[in-house]
Structure 1
Amino acid sequence: IATHNPRLQKGLVVGNKAMRVMQYCENMNHEVGVIAHSCGVTEPRRLRRHHARMILHEGRTVPLHHIYPEPENARPISLVSDNVKPERVIIN
């Protein structure tokens, strides 16, 4: 977050913003979990394209996987490569 406006700079108190960003992320994670459960999966990472529908301009809905099919050789994306070990793990 950055600004050159002196009036707005007064509002950039890192301690306050850090807590607000953390709360925002926690709330977002909770709400995505609620959506996942309402789609019948146990956790958000199990959501797939067939769980979502696109609303077209005429009001008709189409399953997302009909518009954007899964690639034939798709595999789950890992945020960390299997051969990379973290230097440290932080658990709050």
Structure 2
Amino acid sequence: IDMYVEGMFDLNELLMTYEIQPADKKEQHFANMMDKTESRYFSVFEKVLKDHGKDFLVGNQLSRADVQLLEIILMIEEWKPEMFAKFPLLQ
């Protein structure tokens, strides 16, 4: 659980800094954060859920990792909902 939460903290830090980027850097930062979200994080969480065969990242009940992932999913859903077409288990 801790490993997943730490990874999500890293992703959350990347996402939260978007709003404070200078105007001339926002577009580049947005593209970078969406690329990293898709390739480094969501692809891993999708695989974990598929391999685990359950609705939870770890075990058979809701954990902090699941709640943290939901928070990130809701943020990404606001910015780029089409990303979830590639990750059906994260929908």
Q: TM-score, normalised by structure 1?
A: 0.36
Higher RCO (CA 8 Å, separation ≥ 6 residues) = 2
Which has the larger share of helix?
2
Structure 2 length-normalised TM: 0.36
The structure number with the bigger radius of gyration is 1
Q: Pick the structure with more strand per residue.
A: 1
